[in-house]
Amino acid sequence: MSEHLEDIAIAMVAEGQGILAADESTGTIEKRFDSINTKNTEANRQAYREMLFRSKNAMENYISGVIMFEETLHQKAADGTPFVELIKEAGAVPGIKVDMGAKPLAGYPGETVTEGLDGLRERLQAYHAAGARFAKWRAVINISHHSPRAGSIKANAHALARYAALCQEAGIVPIVEPEVQMDGESATHDLSRCADVSAHVLKSVFSELKDARVNLEGMILKPNMVVPATNCTDQACVEEVAETTMRVLMDQVPASVPGITFLSGGQSDIAATAHLNAMNAMYDTPWKLTFSYGRALQASALKAWQGKAENITAASDAFAHRAKMNGLATLGKWNKELEQS
């Protein structure tokens, strides 16, 4: 595969495919394993990820890239094959989560900024040597009656831009992920409020990316869909979410960005698929619209696996089904009846 950033970015948004976010931190995957009464050991994490990466149907047909946690980047399958090689053999691009998480932002009570820039240049060089060809950095924007404030949006946008520039310097495609969360402390915002905040965040992000001289053709955007808070009394239909999300993106995202890989952000499996499908069915866009889902791709597989080797085939089939449904959604060809197959 070409080592040009632009070519890697295009491969990451290949037709009918999307990105598997398997980058849960050790703490996050513990919560996932707790839900199936499985111990959070390195061996179990390795076995679970191997089940996903060896799901031939899903990986070869519907997955264009995999975001890994640092531990996973260096792990091997039971037969000694490095996970990076398993992913590449399936035709997908190996990627790595590089941020150190959202921390409280001084002077902005209740708001956060993502940390991890210190030493990032050297880490990126090591990740590239280990086989990673793209990276991910997530900024977390919460909506409340007083937030987000302009200063916290700018701080997160600036960090995203510095990260993106360092990635490109290292020959790594940055996934730029500004997530306006659908949930948060006492979040009750409606669709319109989420649209306003999402637009403001994206405007700030692309301003900072320009100032940092980031090559937009060699990056991928991973935004939230514009949805009301879970606790909002006025929920939106699938078409409203699609229309509002597309309006925000059309206004704020330059056409030179090759692809937009949505995060699921707490939506149910089916809702995340339905919203993606509606956008692709209803609109022609200058960028590919696809998925970069974690829980919305893995939840059914995790439930089927239950931490048991004898359930690997069933878990792999569950993962392949969700991957296929989302692959169809990237083409605007999904419908609810297909979920019964």
Cα 145 from chain centroid (whole Å)? 27
d(CA 338, CA 341): 6
Q: Is 179 an annotated catalytic residue?
A: no
Alpha-carbon dihedral sign for residues 299, 84, 56, 39: negative
d(CA 205, CA 249): 13
Q: How big, in percent rounded to 5, are the helix, strand and coil portions of the chain?
A: 50, 15, 35
**Element (DSSP H or E) covering residue 290:** strand 288-293
Provide Rg for the chain, Cα atoms. 19
d(CA 337, CA 270): 12
Q: Is 222 an annotated catalytic residue?
A: yes
Active-site hit among 222, 243, 288, 324: 222
Give backbone dihedrals phi and psi of 55, rounded to 5 degrees, phi first. -75, 90
Active-site hit among 24, 50, 70, 177: 177
- Name the token pair of 204: 């700030």
Q: Active-site residue numbers?
A: 177, 222
